[in-house]
DNA sequence: ACTTATTTTGACACAAGTGTCGGTTAACGA
DNA sequence: TCGTTAACCGACACTTGTGTCAAAATAAGT
């Protein structure tokens, strides 16, 4: 048999690069095949369609994020937990951009795609719920204000992940900075 | 002569709806023609291409935003100015989504498109600069913390506009709420 | 009613991406 | 070394959106 020309790591990496670079609609097999130096039809040996490839990629990266998030389960205060999670989310900040592509995927292209998308949405909801719960807990320990609905604070938190890191700071320092602004606000008054 | 079937207000309105609904790539003349109940080729009588139509729409809405922003020029403190501007930006929150479509437009499709995009980028930079300047001023009057770079705070400010208003609050109350969280932070400690 | 100027239209040729399939290539074991 | 077979490839038919153009439709002036 012929030696594999396609390396799965490469395939996932290039898929990510192209998705971020060209967007969901701009991404197609011809482009990917060129990057991987294989014929376009070869990719069909592994994935039946663009939709299946993209959802497979999404599941893959989402699993990595979930694993890393749950690795820090036993942690100090809810507030510190929120801070650590922010650091991970920012490290995987592609996910947020990728997540926004989900509505563009044609669910009806195959049953596999449909169930992958369901799985992704479920996982996304679960993450969201985790944050909301942590915020609720932090309200009880009085680390977070109680006069704003937790659902709103959760949305603020998630949106903060998308703040463009134009200075290309390393993601640790960057998430530190963002969390500080998020927590203390632009006024900058600190808790005693 | 035949009575105009196309109303320009309708055209802009449907263009906006479709852009937000389907995204830049999902938007095309066939779809728009259906919505307007005209033949697809009719639209070409007014705009040479999708690119020209979309940039025309963008310029249009950007002008409205600019007009409204400058209407409140003579205003109290820089902080209040930032708050009022936030209210306007949230009212025109489509613009931020629309702005993100600019890189997807094929600049080379016509010289008109090219200059429109330049115009838009310029205007965007100008808005950004306005916010950065106001933040600088607010730092001097000690309304805003000085330990975070203004460019970072400006990015935080702009990103806040995109926080999804899922509860469909009216945009005045919503912008009030968001600005409060932005300014006081999730901890919620107020200035004396 | 006829002419004229303007707007609208459907049809055509073209471009780009999709999915499939018969055939080719090349590693490996007998 | 030679047959087997997984992996790869090029070509074909199909779909969808694009831009153009000659012809048809329509309102208004004479």
Q: How confident is the model at residue A188 (pLDDT cuts 50, 70, 90)?
A: confident
Residue B165 — pLDDT band, cuts 50, 70, 90?
very high
| Chain A nearest CA to B156, separation (Å) | 6
Low-confidence winner among A183-192, B108-117, B170-179 (lowest mean pLDDT): A183-192
pLDDT at position A191 over 70: no
CATH of domain B1-46: 1.10.10.60
Give the C-alpha distances (Å, rounded to integers) separating B148 from A24, A73, A177, B163, B187: 35, 31, 8, 22, 17
Output the pLDDT for position B188: 86
Calpha distance A60→A161 (Å, rounded): 20
Distance B46 CA to D3 C1' (A): 67
Coil, helix or strand at residue A147: coil
Contacts of B145 in chain A (CB under 8 A): 184, 186-188
**pLDDT at position B2, please?**
59
Is the predicted pLDDT of residue B5 greater than 90, yes or no?
A: no
- Kindly tell me if the per-residue pLDDT of B33 is higher than 80: yes
Per-residue model confidence (pLDDT) at position B4: 72
Average pLDDT over residues A142-158: 97
Rounded, the Å distance between the CA of B117 and C1' of C6 is 32
Whole-number average pLDDT of chain A? 94
Total residue length of chain B: 192
Both tokens of A168, joined, read 């290309």
The pLDDT, as a whole number, for residue A1 is 53
- Compute how many other C-beta atoms are within 10 angstroms of the C-beta atom of residue B33: 18
CATH 1.10.10.60 residue ranges in chain B? 1-46
Residue A190: is its pLDDT beyond 80?
no
* Range among A32-46, A95-109, B64-78 with highest mean pLDDT value: A32-46
Query: Residue A122's pLDDT is what?
Result: 96
Residue A31 has pLDDT above 60, yes or no: yes
pLDDT at A115 over 90: yes
CATH 1.10.357.10, chain A: domain bounds? 49-184
Most A CBs within 10 Å: which of B125, B137, B141, B185, as the mutation test of the A interface?
B185
For residue A144, pLDDT over 60 is answered with yes
Question: Closest-CA residue in chain B for A192?
Answer: B189
Span CA (B51) to C1' (C9), Å: 23
CA distance B87 to chain A (A): 16
Q: What is the pLDDT of residue B185?
A: 97
Q: What is the nearest nucleotide to B44, using C1' and CA?
A: D19
CA dist., res. A171 & res. A52, Å (int):
30
Whether A189 shows a pLDDT value over 80: the answer reads no
Give residue A185's region: left, alpha or beta (phi > 0; psi -120 to 50): left
Size of interface A-B (CB pairs under 8 A): 115
Q: How far is A156 from chain B (nearest CA, A)?
A: 6
Per-residue pLDDT tens over the stretch A56-110? 999 999 999 999 999 997 777 999 999 999 999 999 999 889 989 999 999 999 9
**Which nt is closest to the CA of B30, judged by C1'?**
D17
Question: What are the CA-CA distances from residue A71 to residues A47, A74, B163 (Å)?
Answer: 31, 8, 29
Give the pLDDT of residue B26: 96
Name residue, tokens 């040479």: B48
pLDDT over 90 percentage in chain A: 88
Cβ distance B186 to A155 less than 8 Å, yes or no, reads no
Q: Are B120 and B51 in contact (CB under 8 A)?
A: no
Q: Measured between beta carbons, which residues in chain B are less than 8 angstroms from residue A24? A: 25
Tokens 């967007």, residue?
Answer: A23
* B62 pLDDT more than 80: yes
Q: Express as a percent the part of chain B with pLDDT over 70.
A: 97
Which residues of chain A does B151 touch, with a Cβ-Cβ cutoff of 8 Å? Answer: 166-167
State pLDDT tens for residues B87-97: 999 999 998 89
- Per-residue pLDDT at A2: 59
Which residue in B has a C-alpha nearest to residue A150's C-alpha?
Answer: B186
Work out the minimum CA distance from A94 to partner chain B, whole angstroms: 16
Residue B3 scores a pLDDT above 80: no
Let me know: does B161 contact A128? Beta carbons within 8 Å: no
What phi-psi label fits residue B168: left (phi over 0), alpha (psi between -120 and 50 degrees) or beta?
Answer: left
**Mean pLDDT along residues B51-65:** 97
**Mean of per-residue pLDDT scores for chain B:** 94
What is the C-alpha radius of gyration for chain B, rounded to an integer number of angstroms? 19
pLDDT of residue A108: 93
In the prediction, which pLDDT does A3 show? 63
pTM exceeds 0.85 for this model? yes
| Mean pLDDT, residues B32-45 taken together | 97
**CB-based contacts of B14: which residues, under 8 Å, 6+ apart?**
B32, B35, B36
Q: With respect to CATH, is domain A49-184 assigned 3.20.20.140? A: no
């Amino acid at each position: 048999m012929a030696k594999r020309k396609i390396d799965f790591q490469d395939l996932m990496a290039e898929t990510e690069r192209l998705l971020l670079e060209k967007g969901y609609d701009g991404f197609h097999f011809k482009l990917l095949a060129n990057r991987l130096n294989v014929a376009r039809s070869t990719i069909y040996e592994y994935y039946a369609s663009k939709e299946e490839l993209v959802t497979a990629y999404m599941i893959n990266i989402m699993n990595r994020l979930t694993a890393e998030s749950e690795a820090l389960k036993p942690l100090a205060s809810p507030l510190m937990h929120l801070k650590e999670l922010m650091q991970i989310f920012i490290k995987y900040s592609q996910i947020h951009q990728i997540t926004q592509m989900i509505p563009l995927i044609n669910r009806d292209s195959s049953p596999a795609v449909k169930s992958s998308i369901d799985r992704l949405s479920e996982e996304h909801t679960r993450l969201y719920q985790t944050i909301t719960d942590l915020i609720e807990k932090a309200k009880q320990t009085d680390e977070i204000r109680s006069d704003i609905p937790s659902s709103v604070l959760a949305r603020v938190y998630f949106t903060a992940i998308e703040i463009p890191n134009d200075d290309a700071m390393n993601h640790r320092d960057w998430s530190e900075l963002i969390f500080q602004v998020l927590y203390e606000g632009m006024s900058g008054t600190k808790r005693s």
